[in-house]
Structure 1
């Protein structure tokens, strides 16, 4: 006789544990979905898109060190991504007018065009499994939670 399998429910887990599980599940599941769609449609891995997202949100060129501090990528990963994006003609690097040791990164016109297409793909993929399921106040609440967690990041270094 085969043992009957049971799936634990949220009700059996403390809220803090389920919140953590949900964060891990959502991050993994949604990132994989977006990565597959962006790679298939635009030959653009999600890590490249993340860098482009920050660049597109900035009206000015962004110092490379700021990209390293803003993204979830390490500084060396940011450098490799910027190299790859530059190789595809999607970003430019220019010497910083404020710091001779630093470079600033910005999207090229082609980078802006591809970002707009990729962002539409991302929104299309996330709609049915994320944004369309949530009310505007849910999205605002999640954004507030992420801001709080990110703001506290430096106060509690990793063990």
Structure 2
């Protein structure tokens, strides 16, 4: 017995292609702006922004990797590049010496301050200015639901790592 493969309705296919194209175009423009304004890669900006938004100015590397959906080894390299520029520091975690904690420096905060005005202007010009406030609210709700569903079974790079000493979760 041959099973019919699932298909997409024309509206679903159009929505999917539009999302992919918008995502690609926006990411390209954002990456260019970040390179020009702060000599940052997209991932480096995400790291600095997450650290800058943290009340302590720091996070464990594994938590950062989970949050930005990036491989732990790739994130280690990006953090090393930022550390060489003096934008972050890395040290063993006070809670778990096997973990590394990354903290933003004053120079890192200064780079964020330089980058953010142009970044926000680009987001308005390229994305938000074409939407009404209701559109933004609706889009945020839709994308949040999709993100939450996808995060329920994340790729390995985004899955929270279980600690070896933690008891297994019951179903």
TM-score interval, normalised by the smaller of the two chains: 0.7 to 0.9
User: What is the number of equivalent residue pairs in this alignment?
Assistant: 146
Whether 1:129 and 2:123 are equivalent positions in the alignment is no
C-alpha deviation, 1:108, in angstroms: 0.5
Change (3 A) 1:75 1:142: farther
Separation (CA, whole Å) in 1 of partners of 2:91 and 2:154: 33
Structure-1-length-normalised TM-score: 0.82
CA–CA distance in structure 2, aligned partners of residues 31 and 81 of structure 1: 18
Q: 2:144 corresponds to which residue?
A: 147
1:74-133 Cα offsets, whole Å, 9 max, x none, are 211111110001110101113212112111112101101111221212112222121222
User: Structure 1 unaligned runs (5+)?
Assistant: 1-12
CA distance in 2, matches of 1:91, 1:134: 36
Which residue of structure 2 aligns with residue 52 of structure 1?
Answer: 48
1:65 Cα offset (Å): 0.2
The runs of 4+ residues in structure 1 deviating greater than 3 Å are 154-158
Superposed CA RMSD: 1.8
Which residue of structure 2 lines up, in the alignment, with residue 116 of structure 1? 113
Alignment correspondent of 2:33: 37
Q: How does 1:1-159 map to 2 (within 5 A)?
A: 14-60=10-56, 61-156=58-153
Q: Distance in 1 between matches of 2:126 and 2:151?
A: 32
In 2, Cα distance between equivalents of 1:92 and 1:130: 34
- More moved, 55-64 vs 142-151: 142-151
Tell me the TM-score normalized by structure 2: 0.77
Shift of 1:157: 6.2
Q: 1:27 to 1:72 in 2, by over 3 A?
A: farther
Q: Which runs of 5 or more residues in structure 2 are unaligned?
A: 1-8, 156-171
CA distance in 2 between partners of 1:90 and 1:53 (Å): 12
Greater relative contact order, per chain length (Cα 8 Å cut-off, separation 6+)? 2
Q: Distance in 2 between matches of 1:78 and 1:139?
A: 31
